[in-house]
Chain A
């Protein structure tokens, strides 16, 4: 057992566990943050996606002992029901979720992707950005629509695009 310190969603956490435990297990078991899901466990499905220092990574492949003083953002940190992010609102409006298992990972990957845009991304750009996130229910059409909707809203907020 080791005492490990790192930041999750803006607050510093100190966790006592074995250092080769994955970040995903620590989030879910030690910190009770269950938005990030385990599915394939080997970096193919993206349902465990979190932001590590702002970049999207698979939390099932990060060992918590590698995270001393690093900064993690999970889907909970992007927004909860009371204070949803633009992306989450768009997913609700568009109905871009069915069973919901992959959704937190997709929200996180979308958050990282939309951070750097200056125009509404094309379908192909979204497909590339979300290539690491699998959804077995929706067929992706609504997810892509929701991300485009979120991009429009964000650009309008920034004043980079006229409001319709």
Chain B
């Protein structure tokens, strides 16, 4: 398919969009912000005969609190996340991750649904969604299902989303009073860069440096985002002194399965996974003590 022969259709409602997706005659692909889709089109990787442009679907652009959970519409942009007072208060780790996505231009265009749908192992918001226990609602014309985020991705760029489905909601568990979170990223430069390694850490704290438990999710060091279960298991055993933090971080290399690519070698990624975890835990403790 030549780019000059592609069509773009703009459904006016989610239902219209699902109706189009349910038909199999032409090869479609959804486009929202386009920050990944257009790049892939130019590279010749994504050449659908029809782009389904959902950028303007207002019904998918919301952030609201419902029964102790937060619902985020897939067309919420990174800028929307950064400016949301609800997320700043109750899911600060997602705000931190959104700030690290590209630069302003990308944050204004790129959407959280797109970040999930693209399924890049380096996607910045995804580790944050892991530690916020996110579930992604997938809808087709006659069905609706809710998939926990850790079961959504099957490999780089691959998900369990079927061709006739689209993301219609992202549900996260808000952080409680004693939960603190941090997102750390290492990229080749500060702005506009793809992660070499990133990590989202969420800890549930008791008094002082006593930790009741926590979640650690690494990005860009395996085919999908991974939870560092061995490191997590060590969190509640001892108060998180600087020595203990160093020990926990040393285990991180056992959890990650990085590859060498244009951005970094596997060895460097392994080392940096440990370094980022150590830095993240250390900074979290500093924040906790100031709180």
Binding site for B on A (CB under 8 A): 2, 18-22, 41-44, 46, 49, 52, 55-58, 60-63, 65-66, 68, 109, 112-113, 128-133
Contact = CB atoms under 8 A, between A and B. Distances in A.
Interface string B174-197: 000000000000000011100000
Contacts of B79: 55
A112 B8 CA distance: 29
Nearest to B109: A57
Contact of B10 (A52, A68, A129): A68
27 contacts: A2-B7, A18-B3, A19-B51, A20-B4, A20-B51, A21-B3, A42-B42, A43-B105, A46-B192, A52-B108, A55-B108, A56-B104, A57-B105, A57-B108, A61-B34, A61-B38, A63-B31, A63-B38, A63-B51, A65-B10, A65-B51, A66-B10, A66-B31, A112-B104, A128-B191, A131-B191, A132-B106
Q: Which 10 A-B pairs have the closest CB atoms?
A: A131-B191, A132-B103, A65-B8, A20-B6, A131-B103, A19-B8, A61-B38, A55-B108, A132-B105, A42-B39
Scoring A2, A21, A44 by chain B CB atoms within 10 A of each residue's CB, the highest score goes to: A44
A114 B252 CA distance: 43
Nearest to A51: B108
A43 B56 CA distance: 21
A139 to B, nearest CB: 15
Interface string B22-41: 00000000010111001101
Contacts of B192: 43-44, 46, 131-132
Given A63-B8, A63-B31, A66-B31, A58 B51 contact: no
Interface of B: 3-8, 10, 31, 33-35, 38-39, 41-42, 51, 53, 55-56, 79, 102-106, 108-109, 190-192
Contacts of A57: 105, 108-109
A49 B107 CA distance: 13
A113 B104 CA distance: 10
A132 B104 contact: yes
B3 A20 contact: yes
Contacts of B35: 43, 58, 61
Nearest to B9: A65
A60 B35 CA distance: 9
A18 B4 contact: yes
A57 B105 CA distance: 4
Contact of A62 (B34, B102, B103, B190): B34
A132 B192 CA distance: 6
Nearest to B5: A18
Contacts of A43: 35, 39, 102, 105-106, 192
Nearest to A18: B4
A52 B104 CA distance: 13
Contacts of A128: 191
